[in-house]
Amino acid sequence: MRNINEIADAVRRDERITRDDALTLWHEAPLWLLGELATERKRRASGQNIYYNRNVHLEPTNICLFNCEFCSFRRREGDKDAWYMSLEDIEARAAELKGTDITEVHIVGGVHPKHDLDTYCAMIRRVKRQLPHVTVKAYTAVEIFYMIRHEGISVVEGLRRLKEAGMECIPGGGAEIFDAELRAKICPEKCSAEEWLAVHRAAHNMDIATNCTMLYGHIESIEQRIDHLDRLRKLQDEAPGFDAFIPLKYHSRGNRLSEAGECSTEEDMRTIAISRIFLDNIPHIKAYWVSYGKATTEMALAFGADDIDGTIGDTTKIYSMAGGIERPTMSVEELEAMVTAAGYNPVERDSHYNPVPRRRSAPPAPKEVEEAVVVNNDTKEHTKNKTTMSNTKIEQPKPQTKATVKAEPKPKSTPKSARGSKSAKTQGGFIERVKHFYGRFPIISHMILIALFGLLLLLTLYFGLNIGTRHGNVIKVPSLLGMNIEDARHEAHNKELNIIVRDSIFDVNLPGGTIVDQLPRTSEVRDVTVKPGRKIYVTINAYNRRMVEVPYVAKQTLRQALNQLERSGLTIKELIYEADMTSTDYVLRESVEEHEVTPTSSIKTAVGTGVTLTVSYHRDEQYTTVPRLVGLNLQQAKNSIWDSGLNVGKVVYDESVEDLIARRTTRVYKQSQSLGTSLRRGSEVTLYLTCNMELVDSLAKVADREAKNYEEQRRKALEKQRRAEREESTIVQ
């Protein structure tokens, strides 16, 4: 393994670095060295140029089939802040953009379950109808793979139809992190890394340019980041077509990974620099200013980024909903000022990184020079001059009488105006020296700015916390579980707290209005305290059982079907497996309350109703393995059982479960079949639940050991199988 000096010398010689080299740089290289090496790579790729374009985003819907852990954008159909644009809405929005100077419309959004390939093609045609001169960059590989798979055609055929509709290039979203284990945790329902790469490979082979991304800063490791970059570099070697790589910073507001927090600005700079150094075959690295903010984006230009995206015009909500810039928009003048301040040359580009000829601005209006009075001491005459840029007019001198002529007094001290001018001159000189230092030493300047910003932040926190918080004035959070909502509001009012109903369920065994969950929750170990005026969010048992329309989930994978049913408030009654020659875990038919659900049916049923799914299995995959269930709550255990192709059998509660409310806090402490047991698809698994968390924790440790042993056995079996295959291959040869 090479040391830092050897790796740095290789980069300066413009040589490719390895994955191990990248890890060494990340963990051991000082930030200034990464900036230097990344800038060296950037100069070879694009010189002193920094690119931007005039673009808008079009986000047709935030209703999404997938429910990723990191996503703050996704909403369910029926949510109050969900939106959906019809084809007419999309065309009307495009019509509003007529006469503007944009060159690109960027279309991405949620994967709406009712959208098919024809819908996506129609969106592009509607935009091109109104804006024929504008480039349409449309749909992530996740959207494209879903629409093509739903249509039942090849990726090439699907891309051909999109291209014919007017799609010129593809953005890079949906890549997240390629590692399979991590992907199973943060976005298990999306297409796999291989499927994402397959879409881009096919696009490149069809001369459709694309971008690529990486969502970083959540729960991934540095090794997983480097692996992600390596797969992108290999695809670019195999099938060139990536125009730019965009590191997308994870923002934590409003999603289920919020506890992971957000990474530091230094980590942002390291990520951008390593990306530029490692991805030697991708022309451009974009610092997406909507993700980073303006100050950090300007800093990123000293760490290898050579693109900052475009004007945006407050047309994207993906980052603002996650805690980014609320109304993202920048004028061309602001973009160019940012680039110029960093010491680089701003270049407007089109969607394919071709420079756009500089647009001429209107000639400046004539500038009038102030009227000046000139005193001639010899002739005692005043000459009044009035000059403009287009015309010069000189008034004739007028003789003055003795009464009007006054001797000019000799100043005894420097006038205030002169002192002001001297101060301004000194101030101007200081500013010029600062600009000169910034231009010569941009990296050192940025590091000084970071240090000053950190000091200011610490001072603000130190003094602000004392002013903005009420130390010592706290209230113990009461337990509201099992109370009626009105009684809970009365008690909360007495304690200076507010009750907010965030959700509802329906349980026939509970009275309407009963509180079944609250946030923040109370604890048996310690008192949970909050400030006066804090909101307590509660979930109540609904007074009436809400009716919902049963979605059509056949003709898709079991996992997608389960997700869609869950979003609709429905559950699984039974999984029935049938042999099929082509695939496993593909939903063939669907029924509810003995009524078959079809694409055209309109069946409504109560929330919580069970749906029966008939699912396929390949004749070689008749058996499945039991997952680990110990430590999960009831709903998590059910989802895991169904996802494994099994059915939920009996649910047994032990004596620690005193009432119906307590059932909601139980966890699985035993399962009828242990982890790794092989069962026929559709078999039942019985669950045993308890409120005794000490029992759950102790048995969970046993389950952890079993899981570790199981994985080790699987690994050994797989290695044995691979050795046998290699030996067989050698014998055949």
End-to-end, the C-alpha distance of the chain in Å comes to: 36
Tell me the pairing of strands 392-394 and 381-387.
antiparallel
Same domain, 204 and 85: yes
Task: Specify if 113 maps to a domain.
Answer: yes
Mean pLDDT (whole number) for 240-261: 89
| Element of type H or E holding 147 | helix 141-151
CA dihedral for 437, 443, 444, 450, sign (positive or negative): positive
- The least confident of 97-106, 157-166, 216-225, 435-444 is 435-444
> Based on the domain organization, do 577 and 709 belong to the same domain?
no
CA angle 608, 610, 614 (to 5 degrees): 150
Tell me, yes or no, whether 165 and 223 share the same domain: yes
496 or 286: which leads in pLDDT: 286
- Region 381-400: what's the mean pLDDT? 38
- Same domain for 95 and 16: yes
Judgement on whether residues 499 and 638 belong to the same structural domain of the protein:
no
Residues written for the chain: 733
Q: Which tens digit of pLDDT belongs to each residue from 419-443?
A: 444 444 445 567 777 766 766 677 7
Asked whether the whole model's pTM tops 0.85, one would answer no
Q: Across the chain, how many H-helices and E-strands are there?
A: 21, 29
Asked if 160 and 181 sit in the same domain, the reply is yes
% residues pLDDT > 70 (the chain):
86
Residue 613 sits in which domain range?
545-620
- 312-317, long-range: CB < 8 A, 24+ apart: 312/55, 312/56, 312/57, 313/55, 313/56, 313/102, 315/56, 315/57, 315/58, 315/59, 316/57, 316/59, 316/290, 317/59, 317/62, 317/73
Q: Side chain identity at 295, as an amino acid letter?
A: A
Residue 522 is assigned to a structural domain of this protein = yes
Residue 678: strand pairing partners: 625
Query: How high is the mean pLDDT of the chain?
Result: 84
Of residues 276 and 508, the one with the higher pLDDT is: 276
Asked if 616 contacts 583 with a C-beta cutoff of 8 angstroms, the reply is yes
Residue 357 lies in a domain: no
| Same domain, yes or no: 592 and 563 | yes
Q: List, in order, residues 6 or more apart from 153 with CB less than 8 Å away.
A: 117
Beta bridge partners of 334: none
If asked whether residues 524 and 582 sit together in one domain, one would say no
In this prediction, residues 659-682 reach a mean pLDDT of 87
Name the one residue in this structure whose structure tokens are 């694009």: 46
Q: What share of the chain is helix, strand, coil (3-state, %, to 5)?
A: 40, 20, 40
103, 286 in Cβ contact below 8 A? no
Look at the chain and report how many structural domains it folds into.
4
Min mean pLDDT across 95-99, 265-269, 559-563 is at 559-563
Mean pLDDT, rounded, for 475-486: 88
Contact (CB, 8 A) for 171 and 211: yes
Q: Which of 483, 516, 541 is the last residue of a domain?
A: 541
User: What CATH number does residue 216 fall under?
Assistant: 3.20.20.70
H helix runs in 400-497, sequence order: 416-440, 442-468, 485-494
pLDDT single digits (tens) 532-542: 888 888 888 88
Contact in structure between 500 and 537 (CB atoms under 8 Å)? yes
Pairwise CA distance, residues 625 & 173, whole Å: 34
Mean pLDDT of 630-637: 89
pLDDT tens digits, one per residue of 201-215? 999 999 999 999 999
Residue after which a domain boundary falls, among 541, 562, 586: 541
CATH number, domain of 616, equals: 3.30.10.20
Rounded average pLDDT over 164-175: 95
80 and 223 in a single domain? The answer is yes
